[in-house]
């Protein structure tokens, strides 16, 4: 019997070569028209280089970060795409080889040459736009500050209060009413320490607190829900010694321990004090959607829930362009008593593989009718990247889907509000077309996501599938 040879994934063409930067360039329109009320900038971040000197990185999370900025103004659109000029990126660029370790790889060289060598800050996960600068965010260190227009890298940013040893995570939450920004970082010692930050609208740190977690776990995201910040700490446990000696990567040192259960911590968002701490059944999540406080004093929040940590192996395989591990996360809604930490309800909303949930910026931390997310098409394998975006309506329990067609891969959907009516707007996504081997910006009416895009714009070069973005 002849073995079946699996056709290479079309999306793999986007990461087969390091991405090419381009300067501020006016974009041409492929179809439709630029909406008049669409004024502002889209920023997207993601790994753009998966190899150097013929050597491949160990995990999708290890690629050097590059930022795409798309500026909409006066009926015209300009865009630029640039690597974040981190110290590690510049050093490896000069040497034309990989030097540093990261999430899924150790530093290069003999074991005694690797000893004590720090990881590279790849600045590749997300962004937040402050009034005077853009921050490129990563999991394990300080953010990098960039120019909002040109994306010139200024350097590391401590937000006027963070120590160099305190990380600033990639999932800050901005309160739409006060403008305050909440974030966290995990530092490691005998236990993992959860550091929580509250900043003003300029990003300046005004308050922080810290709490020790159970064991050495990993936390990627949290949720702002009314008056509370909620962290669900998965039952992951790191073996620190091989990591400290640079004998094993951070990713490979993580073990799934379901018997430990998920640790849930609830904090008062105003004073950052711990309100409750509890344990519940095990699951894993990368990302939360939105949260809010209900009329009974409970909190409701959404997340993409996985049964275990197999998702990490799948994401590791993405860097190679060949994914064989099945990994399915689905949208869930949870209801929690914040004073006791007791879950009152947990229900799966969608049985389709999905990720990257988001809401309109004006509704963060409040009851929102819609969640936007990336989703797998019904006909796609569980090993395929997301081929569609969708909107979930909590009032009707209806999923409205924008299917972009075969071999097209949209990034996380971003809500861009109409300046004249912030509750309405557009969904902006960056799409890689695997057949034509090009990248485009697609704009949808947020209320007609299943209709044709209102506008498609051509980008000068391929922008690889990334992680997170923001609208300013």
- Give mean pLDDT, residues 357-383: 92
The answer, yes or no, to whether residue 6 has pLDDT greater than 80, is no
**Confidence (pLDDT) at 353:** 95
**Confidence (pLDDT) at 190:** 84
pLDDT band at 126 (very low <50, low <70, confident <90, very high): very high
**Confidence (pLDDT) at 299:** 98
Segment among 162-166, 175-179, 187-191, 266-270 with least mean pLDDT: 162-166
The answer, yes or no, to whether residue 112 has pLDDT greater than 70, is no
- Give mean pLDDT, residues 325-348: 96
- Give mean pLDDT, residues 393-413: 95
pLDDT band at 360 (very low <50, low <70, confident <90, very high): very high
Contacts of 53 (CB under 8 A, 6+ apart): 96, 97, 98
Tracing tokens 């960056």 back to the chain, one arrives at: 430
**Confidence (pLDDT) at 115:** 63
Average pLDDT, the chain: 93
The answer, yes or no, to whether residue 269 has pLDDT greater than 90, is yes
CA distance 137 to 129: 11
Indicate the pTM of the whole model.
0.95
**Confidence (pLDDT) at 3:** 44
**Confidence (pLDDT) at 215:** 87
CA distance 120 to 107: 9
**Confidence (pLDDT) at 2:** 45
Task: Evaluate whether 442 touches 404 at the Cβ level (below 8 Å).
Answer: yes
Segment among 147-151, 160-164, 256-260 with least mean pLDDT: 160-164
371 conformational bin, left if phi > 0, alpha if psi -120 to 50, beta if neither: beta
pLDDT band at 246 (very low <50, low <70, confident <90, very high): confident
The strand ranges marked E within 189-340 are 192-199, 205-212, 223-225, 228-233, 236-238, 254-256, 262-268, 274-280, 288-293, 299-305, 330-337
The answer, yes or no, to whether residue 221 has pLDDT greater than 50, is yes
**Confidence (pLDDT) at 384:** 87
> Domain 10-471 belongs to what architecture?
7 Propeller (2.130)
Q: Which two tokens stand for residue 389?
A: 């975006």
**Confidence (pLDDT) at 165:** 76
**Confidence (pLDDT) at 217:** 92
**Confidence (pLDDT) at 1:** 44
Q: What is the pLDDT of residues 180-216, one digit of tens each?
A: 999 999 998 888 999 999 999 999 999 999 999 988 9
Q: Which two tokens stand for residue 154?
A: 């200024």
- Give mean pLDDT, residues 64-93: 96
**Confidence (pLDDT) at 106:** 86
Segment among 146-150, 230-234, 242-246, 337-341 with least mean pLDDT: 242-246
Contacts of 314 (CB under 8 A, 6+ apart): 323, 325, 326, 327, 383
Q: Which of 41, 23, 40 is closest to 81 using CA atoms?
A: 23
Task: Evaluate whether 135 touches 154 at the Cβ level (below 8 Å).
Answer: no
Percent of the chain with pLDDT over 90: 83
Segment among 154-163, 291-300, 388-397 with least mean pLDDT: 154-163
Residue 189 CA, chain-centre distance (Å), reads 26
Segment among 73-82, 153-162, 353-362 with least mean pLDDT: 153-162
């Amino acid at each position: 019997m002849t073995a079946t040879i699996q056709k290479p994934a079309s999306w793999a063409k986007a990461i087969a070569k390091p991405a090419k930067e381009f300067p501020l360039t006016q974009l041409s329109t492929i179809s439709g028209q630029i909406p008049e009320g669409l004024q502002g900038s889209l920023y997207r971040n993601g790994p753009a280089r998966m190899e150097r000197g013929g050597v491949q990185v160990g995990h999708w999370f290890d690629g050097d970060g590059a930022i795409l900025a798309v500026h909409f103004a006066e009926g015209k659109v300009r865009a630029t795409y640039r690597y974040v000029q981190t110290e590690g990126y510049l050093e490896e660029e000069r040497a034309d080889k990989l030097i540093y370790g990261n999430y899924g790889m150790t530093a290069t060289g003999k074991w005694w040459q690797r000893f004590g060598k720090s990881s590279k800050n790849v600045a590749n996960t997300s962004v937040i736009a402050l009034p005077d600068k853009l921050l490129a965010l990563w999991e394990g260190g300080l953010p990098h500050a960039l120019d909002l227009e040109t994306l010139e890298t200024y350097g590391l940013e401590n937000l006027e209060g963070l120590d160099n040893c305190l990380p600033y995570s990639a999932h800050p939450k901005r309160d739409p009413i006060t403008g305050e920004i909440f974030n966290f970082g995990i530092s490691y010692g005998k236990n993992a320490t959860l550091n929580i930050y509250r900043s003003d609208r300029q990003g300046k740190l005004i308050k922080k607190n810290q709490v020790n977690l159970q064991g050495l776990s990993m936390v990627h995201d949290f949720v702002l829900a009314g008056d509370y910040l909620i962290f669900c700490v998965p039952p992951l446990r790191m073996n620190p010694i091989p990591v400290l000696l640079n004998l094993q990567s951070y990713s490979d040192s993580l073990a799934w321990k379901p018997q430990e259960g998920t640790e849930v911590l609830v904090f008062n968002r105003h004073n950052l004090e711990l309100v409750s701490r509890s344990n519940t059944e095990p699951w894993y999540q990368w990302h939360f959607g939105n949260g809010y406080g209900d009329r009974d004093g409970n909190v409701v929040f959404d997340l993409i829930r996985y049964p275990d940590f197999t998702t990490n192996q799948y994401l590791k395989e993405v860097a190679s362009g060949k994914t064989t591990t099945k990994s399915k996360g689905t949208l869930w809604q949870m209801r929690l008593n914040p004073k006791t930490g007791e879950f009152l309800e947990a229900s799966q909303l969608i049985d389709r593989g999905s990720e990257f949930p988001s809401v309109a910026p004006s509704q963060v931390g409040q009851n929102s009718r819609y969640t936007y997310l990336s989703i797998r098409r019904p006909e796609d394998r569980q090993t395929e990247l997301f081929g569609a975006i969708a909107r979930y309506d909590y009032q009707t329990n209806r999923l409205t889907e924008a299917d972009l067609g075969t071999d097209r891969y949209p990034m996380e959907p971003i809500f861009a509000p109409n300046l004249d009516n912030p509750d309405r707007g557009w969904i902006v996504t960056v799409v890689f077309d695997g057949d034509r081997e090009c990248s485009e910006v697609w704009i949808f009416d947020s209320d007609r996501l299943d209709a044709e895009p209102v506008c498609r714009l051509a980008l000068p070069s391929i922008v690889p599938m990334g992680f997170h973005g923001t609208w300013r």
